[in-house]
Structure 1
Amino acid sequence: MKHMNEYRDPELAKLYLEKIAKTVTQPWSIMEVCGGQTHSLVKNGIIDMLPKDITMIHGPGCPVCVTSLSLIDKAIHLAVNENVILCSFGDMLRVPGSKISLLEAKAKGAAIRILYSPLEAVKIAGDNPDREVVFFAVGFETTAPANALSVIHAHRKGLSNYSILASHVLVPPAMEAVINDKESKIDGFLAAGHVCTIMGNAEYYPLSSQYKVPIVVTGFEPIDILQGILMVVRQLEQKKYVVENQYARIVREEGNTAAQKVIFEVFEIKDQTWRGIGTIPKSGYAVKEKYASYDANKKFSITIDEAPEHPECISGEIMKGIKKPFECPQFGKKCKPSFPLGAPMVSSEGACAAYFHFSGSVEV
């Protein structure tokens, strides 16, 4: 805890806030990409303490939130209609599909199991050779190594009854998409430190150079966030547009090359549909043909059309940073964690959930 406390030191936080206030001379809009960063901003009251010229924009950095409706519906179909044991991380269960959620399907008797690791799903497949086992592989680049490793592990064990339903989304293409959105105004980014731990920083240099935006790879503790904001503001005030690494205690320039090797053994890059945003080119991972027998999309050949979002949900505008959660007419009314209209109110990384749970420090 001593190691963590230094990144939550109130006096150090005050010092960084003073430095930010002394540095900023004009309005700037900064997007924190990751939902974990959003929660840190809101939970710790940082948004309220920043100078009025600093506007934090909440990005699409919640993989559960951007998993397409059709994939959720497909997961539900597999569990309900295909006699599949469907395994998933817990935060996917309450995300609404077009009709019901995985949690509702589980309550109706579907074989849905909550796991902490995809390797647990491989064990379940080994213990149940007469049942198909599918792991709902959701996440950014951060969780891709473990999901890929589960495929490699199943292949080595000769398991023919294991597959993954992949919904991996990639951060840099999403950042480019929101930069190019006509309604978005972003002057700089706090990049997701955990993603860069895996992938390194190289993918951000072209973005920073082409679009003239500072990108600071940032951690998740209050001091990380404040230091990252200060680094972005200093660049903006000096008209500098480079990639910097605030999270140097964890992130290395080249990332985790062993993890990258595992990812690209199993996955290849493809276009991906982001819930509430649309299709972003080259923004997802698909299982390579070499491991096609472990790809639930191919194994079960299910086609489910993308359903429309709930008509009163503005999650797409929230995840692109165009609107804040409290600007939704249904925030805290029809839409609550106990009855969410959209995914950002469900996930532990969703912006709407952050504002709902920690609304004492934000406008509602």
Structure 2
Amino acid sequence: MKYIDEFNDPALARRLLEDIHATVTRPWTMMEVCGGQTHSIIRHGIDQLLPGAVELIHGPGCPVCVTPLEMIDKALEIASRPGVVFCSFGDMLRVPGSERDLFRVKGAGGDVRVVYSPLDALDIARRHPEKEVVFFGVGFETTAPANAMAVHEARRHGIRNFSVLISHVRVPPAIEAIMKAPHCRVQAFLAAGHVCSVMGTAEYPGLAERHKVPVVVTGFEPLDILEGVRRAVHQLERGEHRVENAYPRAVREAGNPAARRMLQEVFEVTDRAWRGIGVIPGSGWRLSRAFREYDAEHRFSVTELTARESEVCRSGEVLQGLIKPNECAAFGTTCTPRNPLGATMVSSEGACAAYHLYRRLDRPAGTTGGTTAGSTEREATSVG
């Protein structure tokens, strides 16, 4: 297959669905880890086309959503200071902190700029040596190599007025934490293909073996996801728990060696807090000692800043797959994309945003907003 349209072919989708329906003999629950996959699932109604026995629940696959509140507040504090140019990808500007967001900082006179690459921020620092330029480095393993490259280039060229506020997280430790949670229902994972394109698949066999769960590396188009589900269902029905690569056009076992070398040189593994989940050991990166001078947290002395999460927003439960977005009492009422309570409603990859955008507004029958009653009513929709 060479063209995107071929990954949306309804005839091929029906064949995959027929195989899944013919294979399933008992209930199975699987989690997609990537927010991009979540949006594709909801947009195309894939969860509604699957057999009623197969439930897809949404994991912590949106990097904007899992960035902790205290890190957002640190960004706001730094961006508000005179002489600072604060650079970020656009999806971070409306993520609410304790009292405001980056748009409000910009509206109050802060020099907040949207960039498309950390190297754009580095170029601003090169052209404006009188300013302190900070890039907000958020993301999973996918965006980390470019951020590492920006720091590497800053040191190589002697650009001292550049720093990075790092909030990078790693997927395998999050999967480990989900499986160890007391109320975990996950029996298989659809792993994020873009993460594996960088890091490879070496960390997943151990996870699959320890927790007896199939892990299928999956892409983002409808047929990618259906093929991932199909392979996971076949493993579950046979009692297997292997790692399978259903995204070979982008993923190799070793990942991207050059990107991994850059990460190893610039970053070191650290414990990291995930919004709504808490601290997961070894789940993040920070700048290594050799590059610590480019760490914005230390440069601007905001390392001790703390914050308290909203008691109304239940995004933490959404991110852990404990509830669906429309099972939260605030969903679509006091929490909307225009007035979000949490990052899962703001981010372009957030599960709450996906449910609101594609009109999954009704609360599942039998829920009160406080408990999980399973998947939503399945309707006849079409892929393609």
Place the TM-score, normalised by the shorter chain, in its bin: over 0.9
Give the deviation of 1:311 after TM superposition. Answer: 1.5
Separation in structure 1 between the aligned mates of residue 221 and residue 48 of structure 2, nearest angstrom: 16
Contact 2:80 2:110 in 1 (8 A): yes
Q: Specify the SS of the correspondent of 1:138.
A: strand
Separation in structure 1 between the aligned mates of residue 9 and residue 361 of structure 2, nearest angstrom: 19
TM-aligned CA distance change 1:265 to 1:131, over 3 Å: same
Aligned to 1:141: 141
Separation in structure 1 between the aligned mates of residue 63 and residue 255 of structure 2, nearest angstrom: 20
Aligned to 1:322: 322
Separation in structure 2 between the aligned mates of residue 152 and residue 213 of structure 1, nearest angstrom: 38
Aligned to 1:238: 238
Give the deviation of 1:304 after TM superposition. Answer: 4.3
Aligned to 2:77: 77
2:220 corresponds to 1:215: no
Aligned to 1:107: 107
Q: Deviations over 1:264-290 (max 9, x none)?
A: 110000000001000000000000110
Contact 1:335 1:345 in 2 (8 A): yes
Aligned to 1:334: 334
Q: 1:196-211, aligned counterparts within 5 Å? A: 196-211=196-211
TM-aligned CA distance change 1:260 to 1:353, over 3 Å: same
CA RMSD of aligned residues (A): 1.3
Aligned to 1:5: 5
Separation in structure 2 between the aligned mates of residue 283 and residue 335 of structure 1, nearest angstrom: 29
Aligned to 1:351: 351
Separation in structure 1 between the aligned mates of residue 145 and residue 213 of structure 2, nearest angstrom: 29
Q: 1:141-290, aligned counterparts within 5 Å? A: 141-290=141-290
Separation in structure 2 between the aligned mates of residue 301 and residue 282 of structure 1, nearest angstrom: 23
Separation in structure 1 between the aligned mates of residue 10 and residue 104 of structure 2, nearest angstrom: 43
Q: Deviations over 1:145-191 (max 9, x none)?
A: 10000001111111110010000000000001111111221000000
Structure 1 moving runs of 4+ over 2 Å: 303-306, 360-364
Give the deviation of 1:361 after TM superposition. Answer: 9.1
What residue identity is the alignment partner of 1:8? Answer: N
Q: Which moved more, 1:78-87 or 1:198-207?
A: 78-87
What residue identity is the alignment partner of 2:193? Answer: G
Contact 1:276 1:315 in 2 (8 A): yes
Contact 1:70 1:304 in 2 (8 A): no
2:58 corresponds to 1:61: no
What residue identity is the alignment partner of 2:158? Answer: G
TM-score of the pair, normalised by structure 1: 0.98
What residue identity is the alignment partner of 1:85? Answer: V
Separation in structure 2 between the aligned mates of residue 363 and residue 51 of structure 1, nearest angstrom: 20
Give the deviation of 1:202 after TM superposition. Answer: 0.3
Unaligned runs of 5+ in 1: none
Give the deviation of 1:220 after TM superposition. Answer: 0.2
Q: Specify the SS of the correspondent of 1:270.
A: strand
What residue identity is the alignment partner of 1:350? Answer: G
Aligned length: 364
Identity %: 54
Give the deviation of 1:81 after TM superposition. Answer: 2.5
Separation in structure 2 between the aligned mates of residue 138 and residue 32 of structure 1, nearest angstrom: 20
Separation in structure 2 between the aligned mates of residue 246 and residue 311 of structure 1, nearest angstrom: 39
Unaligned runs of 5+ in 2: 365-384
Separation in structure 1 between the aligned mates of residue 257 and residue 208 of structure 2, nearest angstrom: 23
TM-score of the pair, normalised by structure 2: 0.93
Aligned to 1:16: 16
TM-aligned CA distance change 1:2 to 1:208, over 3 Å: closer
Contact 1:173 1:280 in 2 (8 A): yes
What residue identity is the alignment partner of 2:177? Answer: A
